[in-house]
């Protein structure tokens, strides 16, 4: 009988054997509530089966996702731009693509890239892609140069920040004044506060000069003056970090990283040939921290920087007059004792290396002696005069 259907209740729950359950009474001439018990049993069975079925479905879906990579089908639809940043690994690229809904999962892109030997050729930059592409389609699209938005600009080594703003403005149409405004807060652009410390007792002047690393940059669409300068600062920090520049100059040169950066900028401006960058850096160190009578730089490039900073045209050494060469009021004077307040340009990696690890030597003087820009270095002024004579013979000075 349905009245005896066993739904898992034990004898204690049933009560004494043979008695009717509490709350049920036999109807006259009937079987004691069989229809109610039937409905309850069927309802409980359906709930139980539904719970088991739902759990099984959820578990199956989880298992399936574990073994089967979530991925879209085909080449996608629509159009979207995605920026791949410098130094991005496959996982970083995948994260950017998932965030833009280009691919369904990080795993889909990474697996497709690992299966494609050419994926190592994917470069940083901005790509024109589609939404909801398969991982393989996304990899193929990023390897097709037609989908890379080329908006590159090369910043040469040794350019001043003022000159860089002009180059950037010409390329992006962003006004120079916007770059100047953004540059007023170097720390806001990502320069760590500890960079602006000196061990020579001089007051720190916080400037973006020196931190705009010279390189070729892909300018993202809708970039701002601030975002572009941040990109350049990030590059500087990545390069100097990889070189261990800060650690090495403090340990080996016994100077602060900022002072070494100033020296790198001086070498970048004065050396006419990359072979001489380290030697020029050594001269700067020797003059300021060594036995040079005035402990001053006596470099014409600092005069030119002050001219540019104050909106005046720069000059060759031969064009500079005595008041400019001997000016002691300028913070970038040739006669200033010790190092100048800031770097005077944005040095490249070789100049940074020269300031970090200059060759040993007691040189205090140098002069270009050929048209390829090579210089002769001297420890005494007498030797310097002889080198100057050679330079005149070569028609250099």
Distance CA(269)–CA(332), nearest Å, equals: 14
CB 384 within 8 A of CB 304: no
Q: Which two tokens stand for residue 128?
A: 């024109």
Which residue, chain included where needed, has tokens 């020196």? 210
* Average pLDDT for runs of 10 along the chain of length 397: 42 42 40 49 49 48 64 91 88 93 93 90 88 93 86 93 98 97 98 97 96 92 94 96 98 97 98 96 97 94 96 93 91 96 98 98 96 95 96 91
Q: Which two tokens stand for residue 70?
A: 């979530």
Q: Whole-number mean pLDDT of the chain?
A: 86
Which residue, chain included where needed, has tokens 């349905």? 2
CB 151 within 8 A of CB 166: no
**In this predicted structure, what is the pLDDT of residue 18?**
41
Q: pLDDT digits over 7-38, tens only?
A: 444 444 444 444 443 333 344 444 444 455 55
**In this predicted structure, what is the pLDDT of residue 241?**
97
């Amino acid at each position: 009988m349905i009245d005896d259907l066993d739904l898992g209740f034990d004898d204690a729950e049933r009560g004494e054997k043979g008695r009717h359950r509490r709350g049920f009474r036999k109807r006259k001439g009937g079987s004691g509530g069989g229809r109610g018990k039937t409905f309850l049993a069927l309802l409980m069975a359906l709930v139980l089966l539904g719970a088991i079925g739902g759990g099984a479905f959820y578990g199956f879906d989880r298992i399936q996702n574990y073994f089967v990579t979530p991925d879209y089908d085909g080449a996608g639809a629509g159009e979207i731009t995605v920026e791949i940043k410098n130094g991005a690994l496959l996982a970083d690229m995948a994260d950017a693509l998932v965030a833009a809904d280009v691919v369904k999962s990080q795993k889909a892109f990474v697996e497709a890239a690992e299966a494609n030997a050419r994926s190592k050729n994917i470069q940083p930059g901005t790509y024109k892609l589609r939404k909801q592409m398969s991982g393989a389609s996304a990899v193929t699209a990023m390897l097709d140069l037609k989908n890379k938005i080329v908006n590159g600009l090369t910043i040469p080594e040794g350019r001043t920040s003022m000159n860089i703003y002009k180059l950037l403005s010409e390329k992006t149409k962003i006004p120079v004044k916007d770059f100047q405004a953004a540059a007023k807060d170097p720390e806001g652009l990502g320069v760590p506060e500890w960079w602006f410390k000196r061990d020579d007792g001089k007051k720190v002047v916080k400037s973006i000069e020196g931190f705009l690393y010279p390189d070729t940059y892909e300018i993202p669409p809708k970039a701002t003056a601030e975002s572009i300068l941040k990109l350049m600062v990030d590059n500087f920090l990545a390069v100097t970090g990889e070189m261990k520049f800060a650690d090495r100059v403090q340990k080996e040169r016994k100077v602060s990283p900022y002072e070494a950066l100033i020296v790198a900028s001086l070498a970048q401006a004065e050396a006419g040939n990359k072979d001489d960058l380290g030697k020029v850096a050594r001269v700067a160190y020797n003059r300021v921290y060594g036995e040079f009578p005035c402990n001053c730089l006596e470099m014409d490039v600092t005069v030119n920087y002050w001219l540019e900073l104050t909106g005046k045209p720069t000059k060759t050494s031969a064009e500079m007059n005595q008041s400019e060469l001997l000016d002691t009021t300028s913070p970038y004077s040739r006669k200033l004792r010790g190092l100048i307040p800031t770097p005077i340009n944005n040095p490249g990696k070789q100049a940074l290396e020269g300031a970090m690890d200059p060759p040993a030597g007691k040189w205090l003087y140098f002069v270009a002696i050929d048209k390829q820009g090579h210089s002769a270095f001297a420890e005494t002024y007498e030797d310097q005069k002889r080198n100057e004579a050679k330079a005149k013979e070569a028609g250099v000075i």
